[in-house]
Amino acid sequence: MRQTSAGLLLGAALLVATGCGLLDTNQPNIIDPGNLDNPEGAQTRRIGAIADFTFAQDGDGTQFEDGHILLSGLMADEFVLSTTPPTEQEIDQRRVFDNNSTLSDLFLNLQRARAATEGAAAALEQYSVDPAAEPGIAEMSSLAGYTYLYFGESFCSGVPFSTISADSLVFGEGQTTTEMFTTGLARFDAALAHPGLSADDGTVSNLAAIGRARALLDLGQFSDAAAAASVVPTEYQYVTEHSDSPQRLNNAIWAYSTGFLWSVSDEEGGVGLPYRSAEDSRVEFQDEEDVGLDGSTDQFTLLKYPDASASVVVADGIEARLIEAEALLHPNSFAGVTQALNDIRATFGLDDLPNAGNRDEAIDQLFSERAFWLFATGHRLGDMRRLIRQYGRTEDEVFPSGDYLKGGQYGDDVNMPIPVEEQNNPNASGCIDREA
């Protein structure tokens, strides 16, 4: 009888335990979205969005996630690959297949940065105590705008942009290259129009202004671009910040360079710019007198980012002046272009350039100056495409071609394709075209 009672008691105890949630678990490593629906949560989303943007633009220090600067520079003439992964070699060789996992990572990370910044802007608008005094909203809109520019400048025409809402997924249709720049422009316009800029010290408004100018430049609206850039002081900078720790916040351009994975290029494929032989202080490098990790490529290590915590410029006053200089090309003021470029060079103690004798020389001068000033900031691939699209250069005149240094030939890609995973989007069908 005693045994029976004990058993029944234990059974009852288990019943109580069951009712109390035998299947409840604790998952401390995840955050329920509902916990972020408040002012503090919105600010946390803003910091997270900046981290996502930094990660997408600059990569991370683990050497497993290449950022936009590294990969667009690899496809352009800034870097040659001095390590071995075939997926990175495809990009260096301008022969990228849509199942390239490195490409997929970049595309996803840029989209995550785009969605995170747009989401953070919306959260700040909804949950800030006083949105009209919150410059973070314009900052998020601006950073979102830059992601559209990165897509437009580095990827083929046809990139879709989809959204995640609380209860549905909205699949976007592919946007043409022009549409991407236009969408980016709209984000910058929204930022500049936001009342929250009243509390801004210029940090955000100048970021938006340069973004707007860059978008207009991409769209070929040169004088409007110059006008947008004109409000930005030359000494202005907006940077992504890095740190020794955690590794996700390391400056990956520094890590890839000092890790002998990326090497500074020189006249790559016959038509690349002489980044090394020009011995220009804006592209400082070190001849390691050694080969990279691939065992064959001579290693020239970029010194622009001296350590893991070096910041990376997203937009600055130099770029604003360069945009103004480019606008002078269109009334064919070649002397004006050179003068504008020399004015910028003077700020850095560089010797004057000789006057450009004709339009082609002025174009060469301008784009070379842009390449050196903006080296390893994610501008060069877009500029090389603009040389074809806006200035009538041929692909072979702009992009490296011929024998690839590790065997085989350069391909004919001038941009990156949409990764194969996007085939799961019912409203998108890959690249509309692969033109510049």
Partner 1 sequence: MATRIRPPSHGLLRAPFLLLCCLVLGVPAAAQAQQSGVGGRVVDEAGGAPLEAARVVLTGPNRIEATDRDGRFLFRNVTPGTYQIRVLRLGYKPATQNVTVAAGETAALEFSLTAAPVQLDEIVTTATGEQRKLEVGNSVATIDAASIALEAPITEFGNLLSGRAAGVQVQKSGGTTGTGTRIRIRGSNSVSLSNEPLYYIDGIRMESGASSSTLDIGGFGQGAGASPSRINDINPDDIESIEIVKGPAAATLYGIQASNGVVRITTKKGRAGRARWNLYSELGAVDDHNTYPINFNGRDNTAETGADWDTFCIVQFELDGLCTQTSVSQFSPLNADSTSPLKPGLRQQYGANVSGGTEQLTYYLSGDYEHEDGVFRLPRLEEDSILAEKGSVPDNQIRPNALERVSLRANVNANVSADADLQATAGYTSSDTRFIENDNSFLTITGSAEAGGVPQDINRGWYFIPAELFAELANQSTERFIGGLTGNWRPASWLSTRATLGYDITNRQDVQFFPTGEVADYLQNRAGLKYDNRFQISQTTVDLAATGNFQLSPTLTSKTTLGGQFFRDRASGVLATGRGLPAGSGTITGAGSTEARDTTVESRSLGSFVEQQFGLKERLFVTGALRFDDNSAFGQNFDATVYPKASVSWLVSDEPFFNRDGFFSTLRLRGAFGASGQQPGTTDALRFFTPVAGRRGGVASPGITFGSLGNADLKPERSKELELGLDASILDDRVSFEFSYYAKRTRDALIERNIPPSLGGSRSQFFNLGEVKNNGVEMAINARVIDSRSFTWDLALSGSVNNNELIELGEGVAPIIFGFGLQRHTEGLPLGGYWSRPITGFADANGDGIIAADEVTVGDTAEFRGRALPNKEASLNSSLTLFNGRIRVGTQFDYRGGNYIDNAIESFRCTPILNCRGLVDRTAPLEEQARAQAVLNEATEWGYFEPGWFIKMRELSLTFFAPDSWARRFRASRLSLTLAGRNLWTITDYSGVDPEVNAFAQSNFSTSDFESQPQVRYWTARLNVGF
Determine contact, residues 44/38, Cβ cutoff 8 Å.
Answer: no
Contact positions with partner 1 (CB under 8 A) in 131-170: 159-164, 169
CA distance 394 to 51: 38
Closest CA to 413 of 100, 76, 171, 37: 76
| The binder of partner 1 chosen from 122, 231, 293, 432 (CB under 8 A) | 293
* Residue 289 sits in the site that holds partner 1 (CB under 8 A): no
Two tokens at 338? 């050179």
**Choices 109-117, 278-286, 337-345, 387-395 (CB under 8 A): range interacting with partner 1:** 109-117
**Choices 21-29, 188-196, 221-229, 327-335 (CB under 8 A): range interacting with partner 1:** 21-29
Our CB check for partner 1 shows the closer of 97 and 348 to be 97
Our CB check for partner 1 shows the closer of 11 and 349 to be 11
String of DSSP letters for 222-259: HHHHHHHHTTS-TT-EEEE---SSSGGGS-HHHHHHHT
CA distance 241 to 249: 8
Our CB check for partner 1 shows the closer of 159 and 341 to be 159
* Residue 308 sits in the site that holds partner 1 (CB under 8 A): yes
* Residue 8 sits in the site that holds partner 1 (CB under 8 A): yes
- Spacing of C-alpha 106 from chain mean position: 9
* Residue 39 sits in the site that holds partner 1 (CB under 8 A): no
Contact positions with partner 1 (CB under 8 A) in 390-419: 403, 406-409, 419
Contact positions with partner 1 (CB under 8 A) in 170-199: 171-172
| DSSP-assigned letter for residue 63 | S
Q: Which residues, at least 6 apart from 137, have a Cβ–Cβ distance to it below 8 Å? A: 121, 124, 125, 128, 131, 191, 194, 196
| The binder of partner 1 chosen from 348, 354, 423, 433 (CB under 8 A) | 423
Q: Which residues, at least 6 apart from 174, have a Cβ–Cβ distance to it below 8 Å? A: 157, 158, 159, 160, 418, 427, 428, 429, 430, 431, 432
Amino acid in the structure at residue 22: L
Minimum distance from residue 386 beta carbon to partner 1 (Å): 24
* Residue 23 sits in the site that holds partner 1 (CB under 8 A): yes
* Residue 245 sits in the site that holds partner 1 (CB under 8 A): yes
CA distance 307 to 311: 9
Our CB check for partner 1 shows the closer of 41 and 220 to be 41
**Choices 51-59, 340-348, 355-363, 387-395 (CB under 8 A): range interacting with partner 1:** 51-59
* Residue 50 sits in the site that holds partner 1 (CB under 8 A): yes
| The binder of partner 1 chosen from 37, 130, 178, 246 (CB under 8 A) | 246
Contact positions with partner 1 (CB under 8 A) in 336-395: none
CA distance 69 to 232: 23
* Residue 431 sits in the site that holds partner 1 (CB under 8 A): no
* Residue 214 sits in the site that holds partner 1 (CB under 8 A): no
CA distance 290 to 299: 6
Minimum distance from residue 400 beta carbon to partner 1 (Å): 16
CA distance 13 to 31: 33
The residue count for binding partner 1 (CB under 8 A) is 99
| The binder of partner 1 chosen from 37, 97, 178, 279 (CB under 8 A) | 97
Phi, psi of 111 (to 5 degrees): -65, -40
Two tokens at 254? 């520094």
Determine contact, residues 152/218, Cβ cutoff 8 Å.
Answer: yes
Our CB check for partner 1 shows the closer of 277 and 424 to be 424
* Residue 286 sits in the site that holds partner 1 (CB under 8 A): no
CA distance 382 to 404: 22
Q: Which three-class secondary structure state does DSSP give residue 146?
A: helix
Q: Which residues, at least 6 apart from 168, have a Cβ–Cβ distance to it below 8 Å? A: none
Minimum distance from residue 46 beta carbon to partner 1 (Å): 8
* Residue 21 sits in the site that holds partner 1 (CB under 8 A): yes
| DSSP-assigned letter for residue 38 | S
Two tokens at 36? 């972020």
Our CB check for partner 1 shows the closer of 123 and 344 to be 123
* Residue 35 sits in the site that holds partner 1 (CB under 8 A): yes
* Residue 42 sits in the site that holds partner 1 (CB under 8 A): no
Our CB check for partner 1 shows the closer of 19 and 349 to be 19
Our CB check for partner 1 shows the closer of 51 and 432 to be 51
* Residue 259 sits in the site that holds partner 1 (CB under 8 A): yes
* Residue 422 sits in the site that holds partner 1 (CB under 8 A): yes
